[in-house]
Structure 1
Amino acid sequence: MSGQVIFVSGIDTEIGKTVVTGWLARQWAEQGVDVITQKLVQTGCVGASDDILLHRRIMGCGLFEEDRDGTTMPALFAYPASPHLSARLEQRTLDLDVIAQATARLCERFGSVLVEGAGGLMVPLTEQLLTIDYVAERGWPVLLVTSGRLGSINHTLLSLEALAARGIALHGVAWNSRDDSNDDVIATDSRDFIRTHVRRHYPDAQWYDVPRLDLA
């Protein structure tokens, strides 16, 4: 079996990628899809990926064996920064081969793999390699997470332009309402503008409205 990989990125850091990844994995699992999630690189934690643990909470399942053996969290760094800086501060090398091998193992075992990135598309994985170029090299389609916060129209359209410039397919756009602006006028207009833009320019892309989840 060779599973399909979809890369989950966002228009900025703290935009809701983790919540969206866990939510979508749960939706797909309930529809009978054999799905698992992976965190490409996790910074700001030790021992286990906080994002993977939240995925499992949202999915309503326990840990997979692939979580326990580290396959879903192949690169962990303690310092909460972009991967290239976290690795440098720890005097370690981010081993891209180890990450790629972990993803390949998941593709052998599952039909769909949602790979969540760290931060936005242009976050540097190493001094020489941006996240978006890692994704382009592998030909993965992208699910872009956005929201109704002020500035999201600009950041969303710039992200879409960056994907198009590298020939990266857009799987879809996920609207994370949990991160909406407190100004309902801005949030509503942003959603309408972005959705209309996506429908016009990316007619085959999926649109996901992600509800506000109770994560207490």
Structure 2
Amino acid sequence: MIIAVSGIDTGIGKTIATGLLARALLLKGRSVITQKAVQTGCEALSDDIVVHRELMGIGLQEVDRESLTCPLVFAYPASPHLAAAMEHRRIDPEVIAKASKALQRHYQIILLEGAGGLMVPLNDELLFVDYLAREAVPLILVTSSRLGSINHTLLSLEACRHRKIVLRGLLYNRFGGEEDAAIAVDTRRFLERSLSLYGYRCPVVDLPDAASDLGKSGLEALAALVG
């Protein structure tokens, strides 16, 4: 099983969400590993994979050292298509797909974190959301309480519905977002209502701030998104 974790924007909390989802599944006794489709702004080992392992409470794995968990790493901190071009390379989506298939031989569940927002370009012809549609990968979408989130989330839902992408749920990240409680509460309510309007029967789940906040109810809610 491969499930993607993407977000409505860059810096929205995808990495924390992916790591906490994996931790929740580990605590439920599931065989799980995280994968980063593309990492920019670092060299060799993916910084986000390191964060995943810390949140999961495990060390780096052999599949990390073999670059299966992040087969595409670029130094320039930009959109994947530009970061690749700066190194005179072009992202081949088959590289991601082959790495995922290799991981499936060792793990039951792969959580595939995207780079940037849902519609970030991998190359001049392919967006990340199109890759998910092509590979029939279901999605967990990270949103937030900050201003602009309603607009960005509805656009993401439009993109998913148009491509017939299965949505497992929204992860609602209030940390580093809108401090106005009224806005935060209303945004969550509006997004919850919007899911059904777009034909999605899935939940909005609050994202914990850290692994230490992953209580029993939070554990169950996160694990349920994967099934």
Q: TM-score, normalised by structure 2?
A: 0.89
Aligned partner of 2:108 in structure 1 is 111
* Structure 1 residue 63 displacement after superposition: 1.0
Aligned partner of 2:183 in structure 1 is 186
Aligned partner of 2:67 in structure 1 is 70
Task: Structure 1: state its 5+ residue gaps.
Answer: none
RMSD: 1.5
C-alpha contact (below 8 Å) 2:35/2:69 kept by paired residues: yes
Which of structure 1's runs of 4+ aligned residues deviate more than 4 A? 199-203
Alignment of 1:31-110 (within 5 A): 31-110=28-107
Corresponding residue to 2:161 among 137, 160, 164: 164
The question of 1:140 aligning with 2:137 is answered yes
Corresponding residue to 2:5 among 5, 8, 14: 8
Letter in 2 for 1:146: T
CA separation in 1, counterparts of 2:108 and 2:160? Answer: 24
Aligned partner of 2:173 in structure 1 is 176
* Structure 1 residue 184 displacement after superposition: 1.9
Residue 175 of structure 2: SS of its match in structure 1?
helix
Q: Deviations over 1:129-184 (max 9, x none)?
A: 11111110000111100010001111111101110001111111111121321222
* Structure 1 residue 68 displacement after superposition: 1.3
C-alpha contact (below 8 Å) 1:16/1:179 kept by paired residues: no
C-alpha contact (below 8 Å) 2:39/2:72 kept by paired residues: yes
* Structure 1 residue 214 displacement after superposition: 7.2
CA separation in 1, counterparts of 2:210 and 2:81? Answer: 32
Q: TM-score, normalised by structure 1?
A: 0.93
C-alpha contact (below 8 Å) 1:170/1:202 kept by paired residues: no
Letter in 1 for 2:41: G
* Structure 1 residue 202 displacement after superposition: 4.6
* Structure 1 residue 120 displacement after superposition: 1.1
Identity across the alignment (%) = 51
Aligned partner of 1:125 in structure 2 is 122
CA separation in 2, counterparts of 1:107 and 1:200? Answer: 34
CA separation in 1, counterparts of 2:6 and 2:37? Answer: 11
Task: Structure 2: state its 5+ residue gaps.
Answer: 213-227
Q: Deviations over 1:99-134 (max 9, x none)?
A: 211010111211111000001121110011111111
